[in-house]
Amino acid sequence: MPTQVPGPAPYPAWLEDAVCYEIYPQSFCDSNGDGIGDLPGIVERLGYLEALGVTAIWLNPCFDSPFLDAGYDVRDHRLVAPRYGTNDDLERLFAAARARGIRVLLDLVPGHVSWEHPWFVASMRHERNEFSDFFIWTDHAWRLPDGLRAVTGLSERDGSYVANFFVHQPALNYGFANVEPGHPWQQPVDAPGPLAVRREIRDIMRFWLDRGASGFRVDMAASLVKHDPGRRETARFWREIRAWLDTEYPEAALVSEWGRPSEALPAGFHMDFLLHFAQGGYTPLFRQGSRHSMMGDPYSWSFFDRSGHGNIRAFLDEYQRDLAATRHLGLMCMPSGNHDMGQRLADGRDAADLACAWAFILTMPGVPFIYYGDEIGMRTVRGLPSKEGSYDRTGARTPMQWDPDGVNAGFSTAPPEALYLPIDPDPERPTVAGHEEDPDSLLNRVRGLIALRRAHPALCAGGLFVPLLAEAGRLPFVYERRAPGAAERIVVAVNPSASACAADVVGDPGSGSVETLYGPPDALVARGGGWQVRMPGVSAGIWLVR
């Protein structure tokens, strides 16, 4: 029997029933007809987000940038990119969202800047200056740093610099955990350059928190200190940031793009994402193999696949291990997708498949993250050229589809050729307005599931998660959620397969009373030392048990 978590939750209280929605600002809503989404456009659509039931927005970078990596190449951290609006527009968004109970998390990119950032431009100069040590430079143009991505030949300064991602994203200097003898250009983490960089990042966070941001999604959070085995020094930096937030901004939330909750949560993040890279457990849920695949190997199929060949253990073994290791530290968050996964949740799935997947996403612990458009089943648009460094990520970044009849699906009044990316040309493409009309649409189901989650503490972030039936080669997958210390118990079953299935599930049936909250009534019946569950093909059920 799991015991109650002692003491207060290790995250701001508002995260407990939070549901977060990721907005790629260039593709959400264009208010001024220039073909690019913008901040006033997001403000116009806040009513939609409120009605959906989301309580937070994660906004991809909206800062001044040459946009060689869609804004992850920041040129001025304290200035909103003119194409999105002004600093005042961002403050208006914070306030208008907050008035509807929605907080806004900004995207913090601590590991690198644009090569056009004034700090980097100064650091490229021959004369030593205040910014010479803000980046990692070797001591000669011909000397390349071992094991790091180096760029040489661009500067007056005699040296090569370390790039964190693309060549145009020079790595900020957080120092080296282990300075190698004979490499004086490698600086320790407490050298003046790295200390100045750390102060700047904190000041940038303070700047936006003081103006109404509610926290940050932190880009490549594990990437800061170089030659850092186990990322111990990087973690030390984040713990300092967390200690500072705890005293000065205790309501602010931090979610990391780390992809290893067992490292990121001890490093001080309130939340870490389950991701398509780093560890393997997330991909086999939705993005592995497909029903069109010819391979019969069960490990090559997604769990949410009509074939029923998927294996929940491919996800759960790692998930349960990490959950047990981090339960008292923070939250593991499940995204439906994001701007880096070039494959949307809806690819190869119909409305019933998607409803089943969403019932799972919205009843798991942590904070669920909805990638814009996934709530209506937007699909990846294939065959597009790269846009601002998107490459294989392009097709999942196309404009939000609002209206079946409006120009550009209601995204923008610009001529189609002026759009940031084209609208999905499929005549069957889903739209918000189309889904509003149908009470049984995916959008309305997602809305219902969000409302259900937020109404039941057992289903929220810190509620316990106990698998009841989770075996390779067997369906359904059944689990219980329970609020720590509270009496409420909820059982969830998902059957992504096209075939009906039934099983006896061992568990405490309580008094035997079962109330259907979602899905097929009478599918869960108390029996002996547990329940009998009978699920139709492609279905999910949620039941309150007493």
The residue among 342 and 457 lying less far from ligand GLC, judged by its C-beta, is 342
Of residues 213-232, those binding ligand GLC (CB under 6 A): 219-220
Supply the minimum distance, in Å, between the C-beta of residue 30 and Ca ion: 4
List the single partner that 133 binds among Ca ion, ligand GLC, none, CB under 5 to 8 Å by kind. none
Supply the minimum distance, in Å, between the C-beta of residue 18 and ligand GLC: 20
CA 418/CA 412 separation, integer angstroms: 10
Q: Where are the beta strands (DSSP E) in 398-519?
A: 464-469, 477-482, 489-495, 501-506, 514-518
Supply the minimum distance, in Å, between the C-beta of residue 27 and Ca ion: 11
Of residues 254-273, those binding ligand GLC (CB under 6 A): 257
List the single partner that 413 binds among ligand GLC, Ca ion, none, CB under 5 to 8 Å by kind. none
Count the residues in the chain.
546
The residue among 89 and 219 lying less far from ligand GLC, judged by its C-beta, is 219
List the single partner that 249 binds among ligand GLC, Ca ion, none, CB under 5 to 8 Å by kind. none
Question: Could you tell me the two tokens for 271?
Answer: 């939340």
Secondary structure letter of residue 104 according to DSSP: E
Among 69, 263, 305, 353, binds ligand GLC (CB under 6 A): 69
The residue among 173 and 539 lying less far from ligand GLC, judged by its C-beta, is 173
Name, in order, each residue with C-beta under 8 angstroms of 359's C-beta and a sequence gap of 6 or more: 449, 492, 494, 518, 519, 540, 541, 542
DSSP 388-405: SS-GGGGGGSPPP---SS
Among 109, 271, 275, 442, binds ligand GLC (CB under 6 A): 109
- Pairing between strand 477-482 and 489-495? antiparallel
The residue among 55 and 65 lying less far from Ca ion, judged by its C-beta, is 65
Supply the minimum distance, in Å, between the C-beta of residue 85 and Ca ion: 8
List the single partner that 38 binds among ligand GLC, Ca ion, none, CB under 5 to 8 Å by kind. Ca ion
CA 434/CA 428 separation, integer angstroms: 10
Helices and strands, number each (H, E), in the chain: 12, 20
List the single partner that 174 binds among Ca ion, ligand GLC, none, CB under 5 to 8 Å by kind. none
Supply the minimum distance, in Å, between the C-beta of residue 24 and ligand GLC: 10
CA 212/CA 218 separation, integer angstroms: 17
The answer to whether residues 133 and 191 touch, using CB atoms and an 8 Å cutoff, is: yes
The answer to whether residues 90 and 62 touch, using CB atoms and an 8 Å cutoff, is: yes
Q: Which residue is nearest to Ca ion (CB)?
A: 38
Name, in order, each residue with C-beta under 8 angstroms of 362's C-beta and a sequence gap of 6 or more: 19, 368, 446, 449, 450, 452, 453, 459
Number of residues located near ligand GLC, criterion CB under 6 A: 9
The residue among 81 and 524 lying less far from ligand GLC, judged by its C-beta, is 81
- Label residues 259-292 b or e (16+ Cβ within 10 Å = b): bbbbbbbebbbbbbbbbbebbebbbbbbbbbbee
Of residues 504-533, those binding Ca ion (CB under 5 A): none
Of residues 158-187, those binding ligand GLC (CB under 6 A): 165
Of residues 30-59, those binding Ca ion (CB under 5 A): 30, 32, 34, 36, 38
CA 235/CA 241 separation, integer angstroms: 10
Of residues 14-33, those binding Ca ion (CB under 5 A): 30, 32
Of residues 338-357, those binding ligand GLC (CB under 6 A): 339-340
List the single partner that 30 binds among Ca ion, ligand GLC, none, CB under 5 to 8 Å by kind. Ca ion
Number of residues located near Ca ion, criterion CB under 5 A: 5
CA atoms within 13 A on the CB side of 205: 24
CA 358/CA 93 separation, integer angstroms: 28
Supply the minimum distance, in Å, between the C-beta of residue 6 and ligand GLC: 35
Supply the minimum distance, in Å, between the C-beta of residue 36 and Ca ion: 5
Catalog residues that contact Ca ion under the rule CB under 5 A.
Answer: 30, 32, 34, 36, 38
Catalog residues that contact ligand GLC under the rule CB under 6 A.
Answer: 69, 72, 109, 165, 219-220, 257, 339-340
